[in-house]
């Protein structure tokens, strides 16, 4: 059996919005083992909506439409669908009462054209409608048993070629689950995709392959699926009752901002300082003026002094610091755009590394913050830190 999605809306054909609904629906269908063969987009034009529907009726067993269901003049979907299927619309009193209640609740008079919405379920309900109603009905009607489940293992600070060297044989040999590798900003993801019928069997097959990959990559995998590096670091610090202070030059507050995106981060993040100027590095962090003069602000000695300085002033377990050239200005022949020094300091020790990141200013900031978090994570887990 085959499915077709028809998305309706002139704004889609003008490129004013990106059709994220269609790809969301496509994902859910794929997971549910429902084949999608075509996706068609038309504007708010009755003739062309009709043409698209008639075309889809010829080549698909199931048609899912989205868009054109609101209360305004140009919302034509319900009328055209009714005409094509030769099933006249009727006003559903229960739906109308529900819409009237919603307006009453918001204390605004209901415009007459909102009556139109009583003829269909509400468009804002697209996602639950699809997952709770549409997909189960399609699976039942067509006796679909199979489903597709994906799992993502995330790594940071390892190159694609090293990853290929480590798990390339699985990558090439595995038929089910299959393995795909995707590069994101500052992360490389390994995606396992399993097709099967029984959810428990699928989970077991994914678990088996994940275990094999983890055997090779070990703690180089920092997380799974939606897990974020900043959240995992929070967990690790919390488990160890450790605290953190950050000193940022080139990342300019991004490192602190990512750490504070995590609710409860005040338990372990004591403070952050953005020491953009040399004066601030001296005054707040106690970086010696002669060190700045001799080695330059972007250097391993300075980043070490920053990490140790912020740790000492805040009395935390760890101090984490960045300094670098985010560009596009500020580079010299010896210190190009993308050069970033990162250091981690603790009571009685420290480590510092130099990196070269590519991309524009925001991407360099992001990659530097990511690598600083990864440096802390690896130290907490006693994993060696390379210089890539």
Residues 228-247 that bind a copy of itself (CB under 8 A): 246
Q: Phi then psi for 188, rounded to 5 degrees?
A: -120, 130
158 C-beta neighbours (distance < 10 Å), count: 18
Closest CB to a copy of itself among 118 and 196?
196
| Tokens, residue 387 | 């210089």
State in angstroms the smallest separation of the CB of 364 from a copy of itself: 11
Window 17 to 36, contacts with a copy of itself (CB under 8 A) = 17-20, 22-30, 36
Yes or no: say if 188 and 155 are a contact pair by the CB < 8 Å rule. yes
Per-residue mark of binding to a copy of itself, 268-307 (x: CB under 8 A): -xxxxxxxxx-xx--xx-----------------------
Determine the interface stretch with a copy of itself among 10-18, 71-79, 117-125, 210-218 (rule: CB under 8 A): 10-18
Nearest residue (CB) to a copy of itself, 118 versus 247: 247
Measured CA to CA in angstroms, residue 181 lies from 155, 159, 160 at distances of 11, 11, 8
Selected from 166, 254, 292, 303, the binder of a copy of itself by CB under 8 A is 254
Q: Which of 168, 218, 219, 264 binds a copy of itself (CB under 8 A)?
A: 264
* Number of alpha carbons in the 13 Å side-chain half-sphere of residue 166: 18
The b/e string for 29-49 (b: 16+ C-beta within 10 A; e otherwise) is bbebbbebeebbbbbbbeebb
Considering only CA atoms, which of 277, 234, 26, 8 is closest in space to residue 130? 26
Residue 202 touches a copy of itself, criterion: CB under 8 A: no
Burial of 271 (0-12, 13-18, 19+ CB in 10 A): middle
In the range 40-69, which residues lie near a copy of itself by CB under 8 A? 40-43, 45, 48, 51-52, 55, 59
Tokens describing residue 334? 């010896």
Nearer to a copy of itself, 220 or 323 (CB): 323
Instruction: Show Cβ contacts of residue 193 under 8 Å, excluding neighbours closer than 6 positions.
Output: 148, 149, 150, 177, 178, 179, 180
| Nearest distance from C-beta of residue 92 to a copy of itself, angstroms | 31
In the complex, least distance from residue 185 CB atom to a copy of itself, rounded to whole angstroms: 15
Residues, the chain: 388
341, 362, 381: which is closest to 186 by C-alpha? Answer: 362
Q: Distance (Å, rounded) from C-alpha 365 to C-alpha 326?
A: 6
Count, residues near a copy of itself per rule CB under 8 A? 72
Q: Judged by CB under 8 A, does residue 14 bind a copy of itself?
A: yes
**CB atoms inside a 10 Å sphere around CB 143:** 7
- Report in angstroms how near the CB of residue 385 gets to a copy of itself at its nearest: 23
Q: Does 313 bind a copy of itself (CB under 8 A)?
A: yes
Which residues, 6 or more positions from 140, have their beta carbon under 8 angstroms from its beta carbon? Answer: none
Taking contact as CB under 8 A, which single stretch among the options 75-83, 155-163, 327-335, 343-351 is the one that binds a copy of itself? 327-335
Considering the rule CB under 8 A, would residue 194 count as an interface residue with a copy of itself? no
The residue range among 7-15, 81-89, 161-169, 348-356 that interacts with a copy of itself, by the rule CB under 8 A, is 7-15
Strands 244-248 and 349-356: unpaired
Judged by beta carbon, residue 277 or residue 386, the one nearer a copy of itself is 277
Identity of the residue, 24 or 346, whose beta carbon is nearer to a copy of itself in the bound complex: 24
- Sole binder of a copy of itself in the list 72, 133, 362, 381 (CB under 8 A): 362
> Is 372 an interacting residue with respect to a copy of itself (CB under 8 A)?
no
């Amino acid at each position: 059996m085959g499915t077709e999605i028809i998305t309706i809306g002139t704004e889609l054909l003008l490129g004013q919005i990106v059709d994220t609904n269609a790809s969301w629906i496509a994902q859910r269908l794929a997971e549910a083992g429902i084949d999608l063969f075509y996706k068609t987009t038309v504007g708010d034009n009755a003739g062309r909506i009709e043409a698209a529907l008639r075309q889809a009726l010829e080549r698909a067993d199931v048609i899912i439409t989205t868009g054109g269901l609101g209360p305004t003049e140009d919302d034509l979907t319900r009328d055209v669908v009714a005409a094509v299927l030769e099933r006249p619309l009727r006003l559903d009193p229960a739906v109308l009462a529900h819409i009237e209640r919603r307006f009453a609740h918001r204390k605004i008079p209901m415009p007459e054209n909102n009556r139109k919405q009583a003829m269909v379920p509400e468009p804002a309900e697209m996602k639950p409608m699809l997952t709770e109603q549409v997909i189960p009905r399609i699976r039942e009607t067509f006796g679909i048993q199979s489903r597709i489940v994906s799992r993502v293992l995330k790594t940071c600070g390892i190159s694609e070629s090293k990853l290929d060297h480590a798990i390339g044989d699985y990558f090439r040999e595995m038929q089910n689950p299959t393995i795909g590798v995707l590069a994101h900003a500052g992360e490389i993801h390994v995606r396992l995709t399993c097709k099967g019928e029984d959810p428990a069997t699928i989970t077991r097959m994914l678990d088996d392959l994940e275990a094999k990959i983890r055997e090779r990559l070990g703690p180089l995998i920092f997380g799974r699926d939606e897990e974020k590096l900043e959240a995992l670091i929070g967990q690790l610090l919390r488990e160890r009752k450790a605290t953190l202070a950050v000193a940022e030059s080139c990342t300019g507050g991004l490192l602190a901002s990512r750490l504070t995106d995590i609710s409860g981060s005040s338990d372990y993040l004591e403070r952050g300082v953005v020491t953009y100027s040399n004066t601030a590095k001296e005054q707040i962090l106690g970086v010696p003026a002669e060190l700045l003069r001799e080695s330059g602000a972007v250097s391993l000695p300075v980043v070490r002094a920053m990490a140790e300085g912020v740790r000492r002033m805040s009395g935390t377990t760890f101090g984490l610091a960045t300094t670098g050239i985010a560009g596009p200005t500020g580079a010299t022949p010896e210190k190009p755009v993308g050069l970033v020094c990162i250091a981690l300091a603790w009571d009685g020790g420290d480590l510092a590394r130099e990196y070269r990141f590519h991309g524009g200013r925001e991407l360099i900031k992001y990659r530097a913050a990511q690598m600083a978090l990864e440096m802390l994570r690896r130290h907490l887990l006693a994993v060696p830190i390379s210089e890539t």
